[in-house]
Amino acid sequence: MRIATWNVNSVTARLPRLLAWLESSGTDVLCIQEIKAAEEAFPYAELRELGYEAAVNADGRWNGVAVLSRVGLEQVVTGLPGGPEYDGVQEPRAVSATCGGVRVWSVYVPNGREVGHAHYAYKLHWLEALRDAVSADADDDRPFAVLGDFNVAPTDEDVHDRSAFDGLTHVTPAERAALAALRDTGLTDIVPRPLKYDRPFTYWDYRQLCFPKNRGMRIDLVYGNAAFARAHKDAYVDREERKGKGASDHAPVVVDLDV
């Protein structure tokens, strides 16, 4: 089974590339983030033509997540149980489903904006709620993984230049501690192998030639339980999908399982 995660940065803007990538990549289950479209505007029909069902959590603003599957879609849970609100709203940042016997969560962790901002505190609370919500699935005998844009680089090796992030979010001890607490539920960081460069970055800013210069970050992560880690055979970043006109600023992370 091939499972992937991809922050598409607008499913509407990226739809032709999304459909082409699904056809060419052989992906069975895809978790997507940053849909930026209302649920009623989601391209269900186009995906159905390729054989994919979709579980969607979106409200038309800058967030939104989905699970796309051509191997079944069961036990769907929309939203993060017990998750915090921001400005009085529980944002659409999580959706989970069982696909072909594998349980997956698609998550889009809050950005945090800047250290000390209310959104930064919200980010830490959100990660704490995620840890509590997935703990039962993490301890399950069936393969299970949390996939998505975590907006945290787990280590200094996961950014192109640690000094460039001094005083900024994505690398703070508190954010990394929240990720460590999530892993402590029984999850393993499934690190993709680098194909062209030494480090498997997944995100490159559109500005300042960050992609050609490989000034990136690894913030799109796959955290799998013991059964998922045992079934894992390969993982890679599809860096080619970040190239060309109309690309997202994130690349898909692909994991192959033997289940």
Domain map (residue ranges) of the chain: 2-257
Q: What is the pLDDT averaged over residues 145-166?
A: 96
Q: List the catalytic residues.
A: 108, 149, 250
Full-prediction pTM beyond 0.75? yes
Determine whether the annotation assigns residue 141 to a binding site: no
Half-sphere exposure of residue 36: CA atoms within 13 angstroms, side-chain side: 12
> How many other CB atoms sit within 10 Å of the CB of residue 157?
12
Instruction: Report whether pLDDT(22) > 90.
Output: yes
pLDDT bucket at 126, cuts 50 / 70 / 90: very high
Cβ pair 34, 7 in contact under 8 A: yes
pLDDT over threshold 90, residue 197: no
* Cα distance between residue 191 and residue 206, in whole Å: 24
Q: Residue 177's pLDDT is what?
A: 98
57 is in an annotated binding site: no
CATH number of 2-257: 3.60.10.10
Predicted confidence band of residue 78 (pLDDT cuts 50, 70, 90): very high
Which amino acid is residue 10, in one-letter code? S
pLDDT at 91 over 90: yes
Question: Residue 234, by phi and psi: left (phi above 0), alpha (psi -120 to 50) or beta?
Answer: beta
Residue 34 marked as a ligand binder:
yes
